[in-house]
Structures are given as C-alpha cells and as structure tokens.
Amino acid sequence: MISKDSKIYIAGHKGMVGSAIWRCLEQNGYSNLYGKTSQELDLRNQNAVSVFLDELKPEAVIVAAAKVGGIMANKTYPYEFLMDNIIIQHNIIQSSFNLGINKLIFLGSSCIYPKYAPQPIHEDSLLTSSLEPTNEAYAIAKIAGVKACQAIQSQYGREYVSLMPTNLYGINDNFDLNNSHVLPAMIRKFDDAKTQDNADVVLWGSGQPLREFLYVDDLAEAVKYSLENSMPDYLYNVGFGSDLTIKDLAEIVQEIVGHTGKIIWDSSKPDGTPRKLMDSQKLNNLGWIPKVDLKEGIEKTYNWYKNR
C-alpha cells in the first residue's frame, strides 16, 4: 500500500496537472515526491528514463507528462502530438513495468472517445467508432497508453490505472493563444480586450457545442484517491457531471474578467466535437466527488493569471 512516506515520481510535475497533483499530495502530508524538468530529463529518451527510474526506485508513478494543446496546435502538428506522446508514455510505462513498480496512474483525456459517442460518455464507448479528426493524433497516442496499462493489469495483476479527465483548467494553465485550450484562451482574450478599451472579442465557431469543465485541483484529488485505494478497473472517467455551451462559458468568463465589449463568433472556424459530457459514475461510486464549481474555478484561475 502507498503511504505518506512512499517514494512517488510525478512525470510532468511542472505542468498544470502535474503541479496540481504535487500540491495536493504535499498538502496531504506526502513527503517523498520526485520530479524532473524536461531540461533535467528528456522523457523521449528511453535509456535516460530507464536509468533515472532505476536509480530512484519509486513505489508509485504518476504519468502527467504529455505534449498538449488546443484545436489549432493539434491540427498543425499531428505527427508531434502522435509520436511525442507515444514515446513519452511508452518510456515511463515500460521502465516502470521492467522495474517491478506495482502502482502507476496514467492520465489521458476525454478526446480518446468517439466523436459521436452516446452522451454522457461511458468508459465502454472506447474504440466503438471514429474519433474527432482535429485531435485524432493525440487521442490515438493516449488510447495506446490506456491499452498498455490495461494489458499490464490484466496479464500481470499490477495496478496500472488510467484516469480520463474532461476539459481541465486552473492554476498553471497555458494561456498562449496559439496552442491553449478554450477556457484559458478566453480568459486571455477577454483580459487583453479589456485593457484595450473593451475591444470586441472574436471567438472560434458557433458557440453552440457543449463542454464540461473540471478544475484541475479536483483531478488532483482523484489521483490522490487512486493512489490511496484499490482500483478494481483499468479505466475511469473524471468529470464534473454537467456541461454548458461555449457561448454560455464565454459570457461567464466575460463577466468574471469585467469585459464590456462585444463577442463576435467566427463560424468559419471549426466547432470540434458537438458535445462531450463524461459519465464519471464509476469513480463517483468509489468515493471521489468534484468540489469546485465552474464560476469559483474560473475566478481562482483568473486571479492567478492576473497576479502571475
């Protein structure tokens, strides 16, 4: 069993997800956390990863490292999103397996599910039909990681568990307009426009797609739960449980930022998947429940963004 003094390696500990997991575990008394920056350890280098883990000998590994981005980044760099992610997760999972590590938590994304999966999306929807084309490369990489963990759990009885969060946001998010996700991009756009005499804000698509959002600290709590408890299955959705239109999201962000200009929807740009609501009942039934509602989470994120 994992204890507060167990040695735990968090891959990607400087990113939004990894840093939230680190904060959560540290605040709950975990005293033996380890991480390496990409400058210190290139996770695409199989030998370097193997040597590092062999020297560290952690009791648990959390895979929060990934190449991530929004629609534009995924469309522009599909090869990198496919190959970098496959290589990173393969190196960590394979080295962990070779070293006999019994507990590994692999973090993915709701984009692993089919574009037109029945809503809310259940874990059983995996590989039942085609993916959303704009992030297919990233999704395929993550599916490979899920299947690797499933095979290890099934064949060798080790607890290699995959958590698939819905759209995440929060402290340490990426606000670069070229490769960020929708919510941080909105915060950046509305804040920039506010400082420019409340200029109009142009947003992609029609505003009609429905999206679910989870504050990253709630995901960190799900990871903590998965570390501390026996997880009988290999795949768990991690969502908030309700969704809203992108238009409604934009109006909430606009209000929190204090922008008073117009919102213009550029319908020549893609909407992406029409709806993506996760069925997180399996994890809820085990005992994990999200705590931070959307407005509170956006306020926390915007305050961090303003003060960083």
Task: Tell me the pTM.
Answer: 0.94
Residues 6+ apart with CB under 8 A from 70: 179, 180, 181, 182, 185
CA 222 to chain centre: 12
DSSP H helical ranges for 157-215: 182-195
Q: What is the pLDDT of residue 123?
A: 98
Q: What is the pLDDT of residue 308?
A: 85
The whole-angstrom separation of Cα 281 and Cα 287 is 10
Question: Does residue 138 have an active-site annotation?
Answer: yes
**Residue 94 structure tokens:** 């394979």
Buried/exposed code over 294-303 (b: 16+ C-beta within 10 A; e: otherwise): beebbebbbe
pLDDT in tens for each of the 308 residues of the chain?
899 999 999 999 999 999 999 999 999 999 999 999 999 999 999 999 999 999 999 999 999 999 887 777 788 889 999 999 999 999 999 999 999 999 999 999 999 999 899 999 999 999 999 998 888 999 999 999 999 999 999 999 999 999 999 999 999 999 988 777 889 999 999 999 999 999 999 999 999 999 999 999 999 999 999 999 999 999 999 999 999 999 999 999 999 999 999 999 999 988 877 888 999 999 999 999 999 999 999 999 999 999 98
The residue from 30, 113, 138, 169 that is catalytic is 138
Q: What is the pLDDT of residue 19?
A: 98
CA 189 to chain centre: 22
Residue 109 assigned ligand-binding role: yes
Please tell us whether the domain made up of 8-173+213-241+276-292 is placed in CATH 3.40.50.720.
yes
Q: What is the pLDDT of residue 105?
A: 98
Residue 164 assigned ligand-binding role: no
Residue 57 assigned ligand-binding role: no
CB-CB contact of 239 with 212 (8 Å): yes
Q: DSSP label at 62? A: E
Count CB-CB contacts under 10 A for residue 57: 11
Q: What is the pLDDT of residue 296?
A: 98
Residue 108 assigned ligand-binding role: yes
CB-CB contact of 267 with 206 (8 Å): yes
Residue 306 assigned ligand-binding role: no
Instruction: Provide φ and ψ at 286, rounded to 5°.
Output: -80, -20
CB-CB contact of 277 with 215 (8 Å): no
Q: What is the pLDDT of residue 225?
A: 97
**What is 239-289 written as a DSSP string?**
--S--EEHHHHHHHHHHHHT--S-EEEETTS---SSEE-B--HHHHHHT--
Residue 14 assigned ligand-binding role: yes
